[in-house]
């Protein structure tokens, strides 16, 4: 349903449906355990089912407005007789395999993290919480914006307008990296304070903060690559090539396993080795996808792209050092979360001003995003 809405360039309902899921899930846990199912584990399962149903139902009105009504009799029988649906079925199988490989990566990381004698106590929880921090910018810049760009790239591909396809992809990558680069630098510098502010309370003590911060720090090195892989994979999907991303993801998985063995079992980098292996394998994945796309359609990062990335990195380093200095010198006993929000907002303002001073043209182009992406 989300894919159908996105293909028709309706992004609000699919994006907000995740918010609906979380709201219903949280409220469901509270009310179900209180009034219906007192057993916590069973209540959690029921809450997930109710939240998932709410997420699906929330998207129906938007589809009805666009003329897609599943209430019409025989619609499913007609759908599965369409040749295009069978073609979609053939294309989607490699994507399912690719998703399985991603889950296999998580499984391997979890298994290795369970070896306390190798990675230390609490590694499974640390990996989980570190991923939650990294997933926020990835979801915003990688998932949401790549979903928004996919229909446009698909239309360009269907029209066989490869030049416009490459222009759309390059613009999206420039705009996204403009946001991901400062976040990467910020997470690298603020790994410890971030974990401390968000998680350190109750049984989540200073030791838990330290090992989670190490994981966040080394995962952050791969943030640009995680987002880049998402966009380049979608570029191949728009070209109706779902096999290339799967082949590359297999290479990335094998690279991850090899690096985990080297960093964790040989050099004993503990939890840092797990996160670093993930970041390096994602970078290799990104490079291989880029080379494959270059070979397929001649896609290249332009000189303007490189110039933007260098300027963004330079401004990001200066701004993050400034706000980190402010963070350390802030002696007033205000709540840590409030301090973090203020410092973050200050960083956004300084970063925008720095880009403007460096004459990074993408700042102006971002204001025209809705027009540019059409």
73-108 tens-digit pLDDT: 555 555 556 666 666 667 677 777 777 887 888 899
Q: What is the pLDDT of residues 346-369, one digit of tens each?
A: 999 999 999 999 988 877 776 665
- 165-179: average pLDDT: 92
For 37, the domain range is 1-81
If you average pLDDT over every residue of the chain, what do you get? Answer: 86
- 174-203: average pLDDT: 93
- 48-63: average pLDDT: 85
In a domain, 338, yes or no: no
In terms of pLDDT, which residue wins out, 91 or 214?
A: 214
Q: Which one of 18-27, 102-111, 327-336 scores highest in mean pLDDT? A: 102-111
Angstrom distance (rounded) from CA 226 to CA 100: 17
- 210-228: average pLDDT: 96
Same domain (yes/no): 135, 184: yes
Same domain (yes/no): 100, 130: yes
Q: Say what the alpha-carbon torsion angle 287, 290, 291, 293 is, to the nearest 10 degrees.
A: 160
Tell me what pLDDT residue 290 has. 96
Contact, 98 vs 42, CB < 8 A?
A: no
Same domain (yes/no): 188, 57: no
Which segment of 101-110, 191-200, 280-289 scores lowest on mean pLDDT? 101-110
A 10 A CB-CB count for 11 gives 16
Same domain (yes/no): 66, 181: no
Q: How many domains does the chain have?
A: 2
Same domain (yes/no): 22, 97: no
> Domain boundary residue among 58, 81, 104?
81
Angstrom distance (rounded) from CA 269 to CA 215: 11
- 270-284: average pLDDT: 96
In terms of pLDDT, which residue wins out, 123 or 29?
A: 123
Which segment of 5-19, 73-87, 286-300, 308-322 scores lowest on mean pLDDT? 73-87
Same domain (yes/no): 36, 177: no
In a domain, 72, yes or no: yes
In terms of pLDDT, which residue wins out, 90 or 164?
A: 164
- 131-141: average pLDDT: 87
> Domain boundary residue among 29, 48, 81?
81
Same domain (yes/no): 204, 115: yes
In a domain, 319, yes or no: no
C-alpha to C-alpha distances, 130 to 126, 194, 215, 337, nearest whole angstrom? 6, 10, 6, 18
In a domain, 290, yes or no: yes
Q: List CB contacts of 219: < 8 A, sequence separation 6 or more.
A: 130, 131, 133, 134, 275, 278, 279
Same domain (yes/no): 217, 274: yes
> What is the token pair recorded at 262?
């080297």
In a domain, 359, yes or no: no
Tell me what pLDDT residue 369 has. 56
Tell me what pLDDT residue 173 has. 92
Same domain (yes/no): 77, 100: no
> Sorting pLDDT into bands at 50, 70 and 90, what band is 275?
very high
Same domain (yes/no): 240, 134: yes
Same domain (yes/no): 45, 105: no
Q: Is the pLDDT of residue 314 over 80?
A: yes
Q: How many residues does the chain have?
A: 374
- 215-221: average pLDDT: 97
Tell me what pLDDT residue 373 has. 47
> Domain boundary residue among 272, 300, 328?
300
In a domain, 158, yes or no: yes
Same domain (yes/no): 187, 274: yes
Which segment of 1-10, 152-161, 214-223 scores lowest on mean pLDDT? 1-10
> What is the token pair recorded at 329?
């010198």
Predicted structure pTM score? 0.83
Angstrom distance (rounded) from CA 308 to CA 62: 38
Q: Which one of 27-36, 65-74, 158-167 scores highest in mean pLDDT? A: 158-167
In a domain, 346, yes or no: no
In a domain, 322, yes or no: no
Tell me what pLDDT residue 37 has. 72
- 2-22: average pLDDT: 68
- 272-290: average pLDDT: 96
In terms of pLDDT, which residue wins out, 12 or 115?
A: 115
């Amino acid at each position: 349903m989300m894919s159908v809405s996105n293909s028709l360039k309706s992004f609000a309902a699919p994006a907000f449906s995740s918010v609906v899921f979380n709201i219903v899930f949280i409220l469901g846990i509270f009310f179900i355990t209180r009034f219906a199912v007192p057993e916590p584990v069973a209540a959690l399962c029921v809450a997930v089912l109710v939240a998932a149903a709410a997420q699906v139902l929330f998207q129906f009105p938007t589809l009805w407005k666009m003329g897609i009504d599943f209430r019409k009799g025989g619609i499913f029988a007609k759908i599965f007789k369409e040749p295009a649906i069978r073609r979609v079925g053939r294309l989607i199988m490699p994507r399912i395999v690719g998703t399985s490989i991603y889950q296999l990566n998580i499984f391997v990381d979890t298994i290795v993290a369970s070896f306390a004698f190798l990675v230390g106590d609490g590694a499974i929880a640390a990996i989980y919480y570190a991923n939650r921090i990294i997933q926020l910018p990835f979801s915003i810049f990688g998932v949401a914006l790549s979903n928004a760009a996919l229909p446009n790239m698909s239309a360009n591909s269907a029209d066989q307008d490869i030049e416009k396809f490459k222009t759309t992809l390059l613009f999206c990558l420039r705009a996204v990296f403009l946001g991901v680069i400062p976040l990467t630098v910020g997470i690298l510098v603020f790994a410890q304070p971030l974990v401390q502010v968000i998680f350190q309370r109750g049984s989540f003590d200073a030791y838990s903060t330290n090992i989670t911060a190490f994981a966040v720090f080394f995962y952050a090195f791969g943030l640009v690559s995680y987002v880049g892989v998402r966009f380049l994979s979608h570029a191949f999907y728009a070209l109706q090539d779902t096999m290339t991303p799967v082949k590359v993801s297999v290479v990335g998985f094998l690279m991850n396993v090899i690096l985990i063995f080297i960093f964790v079992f040989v050099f004993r980098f503990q939890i840092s080795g797990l996160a670093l292996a993930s970041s390096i394998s994602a970078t290799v994945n990104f490079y291989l996808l880029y080379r494959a796309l270059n070979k397929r359609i001649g896609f290249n990062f332009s000189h303007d792209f490189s110039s933007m990335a260098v300027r963004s990195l330079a401004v990001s380093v200066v701004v993050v050092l400034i706000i980190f200095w402010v963070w350390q010198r802030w002696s007033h006993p205000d709540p840590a979360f409030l301090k973090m929000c203020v410092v973050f907002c200050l960083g956004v303002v300084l970063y925008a001003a720095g880009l403007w001073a460096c004459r990074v043209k993408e700042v102006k182009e971002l204001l025209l995003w809705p027009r540019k992406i059409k």
